[in-house]
Amino acid sequence: MIEICDVHKSFGDLEVLKGIDLEVKKGEVVSVIGGSGSGKSTLLYCINGIEDIQQGKIVVDEVDVHAKATNQDRLRQKLGMVFQQWNSFPHLTVLENAALAPRIVLKKSKKEATEVARQELTHVGLGDKFDEYPSRMSGGQQQRLAIARALAMKPDYMLFDEVTSALDPELVGEVLDTLRMLRDDGMTMICVTHEIGFAREVSDKVAFFHQGIIEEIGSPEQVISNPCQETTRKFLSKVLH
């Protein structure tokens, strides 16, 4: 379980998160929607400790992410993250991309690491691309590689930060299909997304971010189909039309 309690985060004088409360239970899919600059990415970065926080607490499976005693490198092993940009490692083949972290972080043997990498790559539909270099693949394929690379660490949670925003429209579908598949596998996920239709379809909960606070949170029907806040309605009418 991920528990986020009253989290405040500032960059210098700019307060980006102004008291965020959110709970993500095992197996849940939570979508985060909201305007650009509202702090969605920052929240994900705080959850896996890439960014520190000024106030409040984030607890992942009983471990306080920002406590001094916490080994964040260790913690990140159970929090997979995929970004808007796929960031494939250009010097490694597809298979090596996915096998790297299992091998050097989990200290698996080369054979074991390669085996996990193969499985995850096949799972996301890249079973025929093992020896390809990422630079020769489309954005959609590279994004699926990024997902497989994260899955190869066998994480308990996946954090997705607008993973389809940098893709050509015709490639969005294949990546969303991959996310649907993960949901069906029972993966716990937080998806920051602008794909409102997708959010409505897959989420257990939708959180609408506005200027550093969660303006509205609830079931997709409630937040997307019948929002009670004026700001939510305005945002939705902008992105849906």
Partner 1 sequence: MGSFFTPLSWHDAPFILTGILNTIYISTVAIIIGTILGLMVGFLRAESNRFTNVLMGGGLDVLRSVPLIIQLILFSTYIGATGHPLDPFVAGSIVLSLYTMAFMSEVFRGGFESVQQPMQVAARSLGLTYWQTVRYIRLPIGMRAVFPSWLGVALSVIKDSALVSVIGYMELLRTSEQLISRTQQPLQILIGVGFFYFLISYPLSLYGKRVEGKMVS
Ligand X SMILES: Nc1ncnc2c1ncn2[C@@H]1O[C@H](COP(=O)(O)OP(=O)(O)O)[C@@H](O)[C@H]1O
From candidates 31, 42, 88, 232, binder to ligand X by CB under 6 A: 42
> Are the CB atoms for 160 and 193 separated by under 8 Å?
yes
From candidates 73, 170, 184, 185, binder to partner 1 by CB under 8 A: 73
From candidates 67, 104, 228, 239, binder to partner 1 by CB under 8 A: 104
The angle, 0 to 180 degrees and rounded to 10, between the axes of the packed helices 139-151 and 169-185 is 20
In 3D, which of 105, 69, 100 has the Cα closest to residue 87?
Answer: 100
Asked if 41 touches ligand X (CB under 6 A), the answer is yes
74's contact among Mg ion, ligand X, partner 1, none, with CB below 5 to 8 A by partner kind, is partner 1
From candidates 100, 166, 181, 213, binder to partner 1 by CB under 8 A: 100
To the nearest whole angstrom, how small is the minimum distance from the Cβ of residue 95 to ligand X? 32
Q: Give the CB-side neighbour count of residue 231, counting CA atoms within 13 A.
A: 14
Asked if 109 touches partner 1 (CB under 8 A), the answer is no
To the nearest whole angstrom, how small is the minimum distance from the Cβ of residue 106 to ligand X? 29
From candidates 11, 111, 230, 238, binder to ligand X by CB under 6 A: 11
> Are the CB atoms for 2 and 81 separated by under 8 Å?
no
- Using CB under 8 A as the binding rule, the residues of this chain from 135 to 154 that contact partner 1 are 146, 149-150, 153
**162, amino acid identity:** E
Greatest Cα pair distance, the chain, in angstroms, is 55
Q: Which stretch binds Mg ion (CB under 5 A): 36-44, 111-119, 195-203, 226-234?
A: 36-44
CB atoms within 10 A of CB 61: 13
Nearer to partner 1 among residue 149 and residue 183 (C-beta): 149
CA pair distance 21, 151, nearest whole angstrom: 27
| Residues in CB range of 97: below 8 A, 6 or more apart | 88, 89, 117, 134, 145, 149
39's contact among ligand X, Mg ion, partner 1, none, with CB below 5 to 8 A by partner kind, is ligand X
Q: Where does the chain have alpha helices with state H?
A: 40-47, 72-76, 94-104, 110-123, 139-151, 169-185, 196-202, 220, 230-240
Nearer to Mg ion among residue 41 and residue 232 (C-beta): 41
- Contacts with partner 1 by CB under 8 A lie at 48, 50, 73-74, 76-77, 79-81, 83, 85, 87, 89-91, 100-101, 104-106, 146, 149-150, 153
